[in-house]
Structure 1
Amino acid sequence: MDSGLSSVPTIRQGLPGSGDERWNSATQRANGQQPGAYAAPAKPLPPNDFQKFVLESTGQALPLFGAGFFDAAPDNFNPQASAPVSGDYRLGPGDELQIRGWGSVDIDVRAVVDRNGQIHIPRVGAVPLAGVRSVEAESTIRNAVGRYYKDFQLSVTMGQLRGITVYVVGQARKPGAYNLSGASTLVSALFASGGPSANGSMRNVQVKRGGRTVTELDLYDFLAKGDKSADVRLQDGDTITIPPARGYIALTGKVATPAVYELGGDKDTLGSTLALAGGLPVVADPKRAYLERVDPSKKPARSVESFALDAAGLNRPLRNGDLLTVLSLSPEFGNAVTLRGNVDQPVRAPWREGMKIRDLIPSKSYLMSRASVQRQNSVLLTTEEKQRVEDGYQLTRRAQDASSPRAFPGDASGAYGNGAPGQPLDRPGPRLRGEGGVREVRDNADTLAERIGNLVDEINLEYAVVERVDSQNVTVQLVPFNLGRALEDANSPDNLALQPGDIVTVFSVTDVRVPQAKRQVFVRIEGEVRRPGIYQMNPGDGLSNLLEKAGGLTPDAYLFGSAFYREEVRQTQQKNLEQLVRRLEAQTQTQLSSSAASVSAVSGDASGTARLRLEAEARAQQQALERLRNINPTGRIMLGLQADNATVDALPDVRLANQDRLVIPSRPDFVYVLGSVNTEASMLWRRGGTVQDYLSQAGLTSGADKDELFIIRADGSVASGNNSSSWFNRSITGAAVQPGDLIVLPEKTDHESAWSVFTRNAKDITQIIYQFSLGAAAIKTLRE
Structure 2
Amino acid sequence: MKKIILRLIFILIFLGTFQIHAQDILQGKDLSSVKIDALSDSDIVKIKNQLQTNGTSIEQMEPVALSRGMSKVEYDKLKVRVNGISGNSGLIQTQSSIEEVERSQEPINTKKQKDSENELIFGSELFDNPTLDFAPDLKMATPVNYILGPGDELQISIYGVQEYNTTVLVSSEGKISIQFVGQISVSGMTIEAATQKIKSSISKIYSTVSSGQSQVSITLSKIRTIRITIVGGKQPGNYAVSSLATVYNALHLAGGPGKNGSYRNIELIRNNKVYKNIDIYRFLVKGDQSDNLGLKENDVIRIPTYSHRVIINGEVKRPGIFEMKKDESFLDLLNFASGFNDFAYTASVNIQQKTAKELKVTDINESEYGTYKPKAGDVFRVSRILDRFENRIKIDGAVFRPDTYSFSEGMRVSDLVTRAEGLKEDAYSKRARIIRLKSDLTSEIINVDLEAALSGDLNADIELKREDVVTVYSILDFKEEYKVTIDGEVKNPGVYKFYDNLTLNDLVVQVGGLTGSAAKRVEIARMIKSDEINNNDPRRVEVINLELTPENNEQVKNYILMPFDVINIRRVAVYEKPQLVEISGAVTYPGKYVLANKKETVYSIVIRAGGLTSIANIEGMKIKRPINKDQLSEIANTSVDSLKDDLVNKLKNEVKYATIPVNWEEILKDTNHYSNVTLFPGDKIEVSTFNEGVKVVGNVLLTSEIPYRKGKNFNYYLSAVGGVNSKGWKRKAYIIYPNGKAATIGSFLFFRSYPKVLPDSQIVVPEKPETTKMSTGEWVSIGSVITSLALLIVTAFR
TM-score (norm 1): 0.50
* More contact order relative to length (CA 8 Å, sep ≥ 6): 1
Higher strand share: 2
Higher helix share: 1
TM-score (norm 2): 0.49
Q: Quick check: which has more Rg, 1 or 2?
A: 2
